Structure 1
């Protein structure tokens, strides 16, 4: 079964040049946070460019369950009438977050310091993911959690009746954990402090400040120290969501490895805590340029132009870059398979606890397609076969993981034999127009593997 219905196999075969303009949907991270902070503010927050993937729709549904009025006006245009900090009502149903680890962890943080009880669940993939990384720190505020063995969903959170502020050093680089603690700190008196040894995406800090929270960031010898003053009155905002760099990664990387391609991807967010993939691709020799660089809503954006690059070389990706590109390692592994030489990705153990074990999923699928792989708990090494040199011909397991599915479909655009994914259904969670967008550029996808020519 897929995340949202029967499994839907899809096959990708070697394509001609990819050309045109790729209009990427809105940024998923900013879309989640727009809904949650809008629900915690006073007044009406207006959002344009909201990603309407299933993950974000599930967060919108959750905000309604907690008492906010959330309305869709037209494609990407939404409004949220908030209930204010500490104003969440107790939901009368189980909160189903579908496939979204970001959604469930941020929402748990947002309700943890309000004296209400909520039960969370998700699909098979989400229910297998660890929640202790969030329930441990929110317990310091006074919240209690009751879940399955190993700290897994379904899980009930009992919010703190008398929350206290905390000082918390994140044990791993995780924007989800940092954001959950900051959201919990909103309804705690005094100052809540989060310390992260490695910088992670900072959308929460930027957006909290935009909504009127008193929040500061200081770089110290122990890392980035983020201090939030609790119990503010957040003020409704007007938000234009930039386009998602994690989704843009797929047409960008496809254009780089499909012979003759030239694709423009406009208005992509280039927040430095998110742009590590693009830096890495350029280090490998990719013909990837930034055009019309500018600021929109406090976030740096640019138009990206990606052209076929047949001389990319394998590199050792600096491990300290991992937090800024953690979701992009699967598609980077596909590029690495089409590069010359060896690409070494270290410091990536966080991939083991995403929607799937992404190190294992990519390693097994690439091996089945004829690529030599090495791995350990924290490392993925890809021995490239050069441009267009991957044999392919395999059916790759996606494990209900949207990024695994999209990565192997991109791989199939360059392989000698077609590549099939066992289930493309999960793609709708983050990039619902992926198939249409890619086929408009020139990709060749087929739902009937038997009829795809080799």
Structure 2
């Protein structure tokens, strides 16, 4: 977990960004590969795992519940699983740090096992709502004792056998969907989740890959996902593609810094995750996909990005679930575009690691951008490609994506931009500043 001592960083405009760089492994896939490997019987092997704090929190939790997880010197992780239904009672509280994904998905896993677990987290995670997961898992029979507002720390008492449910998601959330499906693995019968709005589908892809009996049907009511419980998972060899959410930051930086020409290799392009690149191209961004291929059941390509003049657009709210984590850096791109960018339907951003709508609005104003905050998004009038004034200090609010977004903003500001604390970036992108310096950024 990141150090409590703030790590400020000042970022100034630099020359063109050039070169080729990989981004870390996909965070969503990394979490799920550890969890499902830990529920298989036998040894799974994972390469390309994101070794950030969030994923390491998942690894520590699965170890605490009986899985043997080791990292080899070659970067390959081996996981000896306990089998579905085989999780052991953890001896101490499960410390989740800043990871909402770890917390919500593990709550699902534990809820259909006869064990009791206490979940704790850092100050930021302890503010995030868990009620959206508690409600369906309670219907399945798990019992919860949560802090006020349905927040961490909380105690979960699992149940065997759990009760299969038919649940329609009230909000678009891959984490809630995945928690229910993971609970369904050790639940007799069919667990059914209906998604009125599609969300990232890594859980469905990986559960199928591990041998669970799972079907997905498109209906007028939405996507209907059915999982047959008391599954037996088979160990797998997994290659984790690069994280598109992490790639977003060097991609936007290369679009905005004049003269840049950057290649980001091995980026996952799962259609439920990659909408940012389509939005940036609609704004005029020069992004091409080369060497398209499939890695571990996921579409992957190398992204070639050239500096571009962007034009503001009205972003279709329907794309929000496929790029919800990328809106902070999109706001930075909009601040440099020609004309106005309007975003709507982003209420979910208010309950992330920070209130990302307000935090981005305040930070962008502090460095001279023209921003209007609405209830469900931002309206941004861009500079037309001129540098932002800069010169301010922005608060990241313990949010890794806010911190990285303002590093990108600093690269296109006349006076240096200071981010108050870069330590949270270690949760998802520990090599972020090293990668940017390697491309020529002045940090």
1:425 equivalent in structure 2 = 423
1:187 equivalent in structure 2 = 186
2:14/2:441 contact within 8 Å kept = yes
Distance 2:438 2:32 in 1: 30
Shift of 1:21: 0.6
Select the residue among 326, 344, 347 that pairs with 1:346.
Answer: 344
Matches within 5 A, 1:272-283: 272-283=271-282
- SS of residue matched to 1:177: helix
1:338/1:387 contact within 8 Å kept = yes
Matched pairs, number:
443
CA offsets per residue over residues 333-390 of structure 1, 9 Å max, x none?
Answer: 0000010111111111110010110001100000111112122221221111121331
**Residue 44 of structure 2 is aligned to residue 45 of structure 1:** yes
2:65/2:90 contact within 8 Å kept = yes
Superposed CA RMSD: 0.9
1:211/1:235 contact within 8 Å kept = yes
Shift of 1:442: 0.8
Shift of 1:316: 0.7
- SS of residue matched to 2:343: strand
- SS of residue matched to 2:132: helix
Distance 1:144 1:352 in 2: 27
Matches within 5 A, 1:37-436: 37-74=36-73, 76-309=75-308, 311-436=309-434
2:2/2:426 contact within 8 Å kept = no
Shift of 1:72: 0.7
CA offsets per residue over residues 284-330 of structure 1, 9 Å max, x none?
Answer: 00011000111122110000001100x21000111010000000000
Gapped runs of 5+ residues in structure 2?
none
CA offsets per residue over residues 143-200 of structure 1, 9 Å max, x none?
Answer: 0111110001010000013311011111111111110010001111100000111110
CA offsets per residue over residues 49-106 of structure 1, 9 Å max, x none?
Answer: 0000010011100000011001111354101101111110010001001000001111
2:344/2:377 contact within 8 Å kept = yes
Distance 1:290 1:162 in 2: 47
1:18 equivalent in structure 2 = 17
1:3/1:123 contact within 8 Å kept = no
Distance 1:161 1:102 in 2: 24
- SS of residue matched to 1:200: coil
Distance 2:155 2:246 in 1: 32
- SS of residue matched to 2:288: strand
Distance 2:49 2:427 in 1: 13
| TM-score, normalization by structure 1 | 0.96
Distance 1:320 1:181 in 2: 24
Consecutive aligned runs of 4 or more in structure 1 exceeding 4 Å deviation:
none
Gapped runs of 5+ residues in structure 1?
446-454
Distance 1:172 1:349 in 2: 10
